[in-house]
Amino acid sequence: MHVPTKLLDDPADAVTDALRGLAAVHPELTVDLEHHVVSRNHDHHGDHRPGKVGLVSGGGSGHEPLHAGFVGLGMLDAAACGAVFTSPVPDQVLAATTAASSGGGVVHVVKNYTGDVLNFQMAAELADDEDIAVETVLVDDDVAVTDSLYTAGRRGTGGTLFVEKVLGAAAEQGMALADVAALGRDVVARSRSFGVALSPCTTPGSDRPGFDLEPGEMELGIGIHGEPGRRRVPVPATGVAREVARVSVAAIADDVPLDGEELLLLVNGMGGTPLLELQVLAGDVVTELTGRGARIARALVGNHVTSLEMAGAMVSVCRATPQLLQLWDAPVRTPALRWGA
Amino acid sequence: MGRVSAALTAAGVRDWLQRFATAVDEHAGELTDLDRPIGDSDHGVNLQRGTHAVLAALDAADPATPGAALVKAGSTLVSTVGGASGPLFGTLLRRTGKALGDADPVDAAALAAGLRAGLDAVTALGGAQVGEATLVDALAPAVEALEAGGSAQEAAGAAERGAASTDDLVARKGRASYLGERGIGHRDPGAVSIALLFAALAGSTAEDGS
């Protein structure tokens, strides 16, 4: 007999029901339950500005609060929510693009996964047919993928948060379409992530985990679905957080110089790791980073880009500039991230 | 037996895709199991969602020609499947249908040429070549078999062997590519689905009595 272990009503309706819940508690958002699109309800705050560049992202569901939780003032204008771990289809992305469009063009923030790339590409063509100018910013911040020539390339993971926050602020301040897109590509180039899984997750409706990870093993260099990156190793008997911090920061430092850099830091939980553990990890990560001559300018610790209930964490950094810090500090008011507004 | 020269009509396309949908239903668990170690274990259920929508769309629109039926089927797959499979399978059928134009019925040579156009569109979109452990490893040999004058049965056999060949390949596209050498020994689920598509074509044309 199947014993439910997930807090759902009907697993088949998990995404719809979650969006219905989001709508119930956030009247400042418009939730399109047919297309699974969440957008800013501009009437609610009277903050609609014709000509403002629209910012759209999306992807498979299961990574909450990404992306729907980051819709609001100073961040996304709309998010397209696919089935669990499956990218949205072009019609959904087009609906999000239309909702976000106020005449100044729309930027698509796309995580580099084959399905996301193909569906957003097709949606951009459909938007072009409707005379909405679309620029795409492809996020590929994941240093775990070392042989990008022979794979689908570096994945878009935790760094997506930096891109969405910074571009949201830039669009809010009236930056033009091409400049927002160029800034986005610069933020991607400055961002790096590395993730570790300590347990797999089970998608709603499935009866077993998405991958096998024996107790006592951890997977180094995961993407945001637990898909593998570098290798599987035993979990050390003690100092697990120190080891994860050491491996993650070393992988990032192998890829970009950190000495003398001012960093935005995200210590991101994958959904199944408590904040207490993430704070332990954050302390160890800061020790590793400062030991390499970096300075932490701003930091976020928590579950922001998750993989259902997977245990594990991801370390993301963005090498900041004064402009990026100013945009990072700008007001934001969304379900999952808010300050200064 | 199974010569596509039995000539494909719009009703024939409906029968072909009905058989494909039935095969996807029967093999959904297997497709998902194949996807589990290398992807995210949803290929079967995603494709099922798409093929059921295709049958409903064909019944509602009742396209007049094989080309129109394949275009409708393809755009329905794009709009319902998501992931990489939706754009790739959808583009295959849609571009094949567009290449068939208004021809009715469609003979074997035209179908081979149409599927070639579909294959070319898929490789342009996804960037995969033969040998990279993707659906192209099943699709390319099946199209080549038809182009060489082979039967749908022979094309299905070529697709099946192509899918089996992915067992020993290192994936270089899609989510399986992150496994590297660890992916060896895993059959690509997209290639298996393509083999089901051509087996459905063989089943459909065989019963046309040619």
Domains of chain A: 12-186 (3.40.50.10440), 192-327 (3.30.1180.20)
CB-CB: which of A89, A151, A225 is closest to B79?
A: A89
Alpha carbon distance B164, A144 (integer Å): 29
Judging contacts by C-beta atoms under 8 Å, the chain A residues touching residue B28 are none
A27-47: pLDDT as tens digits: 999 999 999 999 998 765 555
Instruction: Please report the pLDDT score of residue A332 as a whole number.
Output: 98
Whether the CB-CB separation of B6 and B153 falls below 8 Å is answered with no
Interchain CB distance below 8 Å, A88 and B178? no
Does pTM top 0.90 for this prediction?
yes
Please state the ipTM of this predicted complex.
Answer: 0.90
Could you tell me whether strands A231-234 and A78-84 are parallel, antiparallel, or unpaired per DSSP bridges?
A: unpaired
Q: In Å, how far are A42, B53, B114, B124 from B58, measured between CA atoms?
A: 39, 9, 19, 27
B2: pLDDT strictly greater than 50: no
Q: What proportion of chain B, given as a percentage, has pLDDT over 70?
A: 94
Instruction: Please report the pLDDT score of residue A117 as a whole number.
Output: 96
* Distance, C-alpha A216 to centroid of its chain: 28
Residues in Cβ contact with A133 at an 8 Å cutoff, skipping those fewer than 6 apart: A105, A106, A177
Phi, psi angle pair for B2, to nearest 5°: 75, 15
Q: How far does B107 lie from chain A, in Å, by closest CA?
A: 31
B7-35: pLDDT as tens digits: 899 999 999 999 999 999 999 989 988 88
Instruction: Please report the pLDDT score of residue B45 as a whole number.
Output: 87
Whether the CB-CB separation of A57 and A67 falls below 8 Å is answered with yes
Interchain CB distance below 8 Å, B36 and A210? yes
Alpha carbon distance B68, B171 (integer Å): 34
Whether the CB-CB separation of A132 and A107 falls below 8 Å is answered with no
B47 to chain A: nearest residue by CA?
A: A86
Q: How far does B115 lie from chain A, in Å, by closest CA?
A: 20
The DSSP-derived string for A296-322 is EEEEEEE-SS--TTB-EEEEEEEE--H
Mean pLDDT computed over every residue of chain A: 94
Which stretches in chain A have pLDDT values below 70?
1, 43-48
Instruction: Please report the pLDDT score of residue B210 as a whole number.
Output: 43
DSSP letter (8 states) at residue B180: G
Alpha carbon distance B120, A280 (integer Å): 52
Phi, psi angle pair for A140, to nearest 5°: -140, 70
Interchain CB distance below 8 Å, A85 and B174? no
B155-164: pLDDT as tens digits: 999 999 999 9
pLDDT tier at B209, thresholds 50, 70, 90: very low
Whether residue B163 lies within 8 A of chain A, CB to CB, comes out as: no
DSSP, collapsed to helix, strand or coil, labels residue B9 as coil
Whether the CB-CB separation of A301 and A275 falls below 8 Å is answered with yes
CB-CB: which of B82, B175, B180 is closest to A88?
A: B82
Instruction: Please report the pLDDT score of residue B1 as a whole number.
Output: 40
CB-CB: which of B82, B125, B173 is closest to A152?
A: B173
B205: pLDDT strictly greater than 90: no
B28-87: pLDDT as tens digits: 989 988 887 777 778 888 999 999 999 999 999 999 999 999 999 999 999 999 999 999
- Long-range pairs for A16-20: beta carbons < 8 A, 24 or more residues apart: A18/A61, A18/A64, A19/A68, A19/A81
* Distance, C-alpha A67 to centroid of its chain: 7
Alpha carbon distance A231, A221 (integer Å): 7
Q: Which amino acid is at A161?
A: L
CB-CB: which of A60, A212, A229 is closest to B178?
A: A229
- Whether A108 is catalytic is no
B145: pLDDT strictly greater than 70: yes
Tokens encoding B31: 């497709």
| Residue of higher predicted confidence among B74 and B127 | B74
Find the catalytic residue in A26, A63, A67, A108: A63
pLDDT tier at B208, thresholds 50, 70, 90: very low
The helix (run of H) or strand (run of E) holding residue A278 is helix A275-291
- Whether A26 is catalytic is no
When pLDDT is averaged across residues B188-208 and rounded to a whole number, the result is 91
Interchain CB distance below 8 Å, A89 and B36? no
Tokens encoding B135: 């659906």
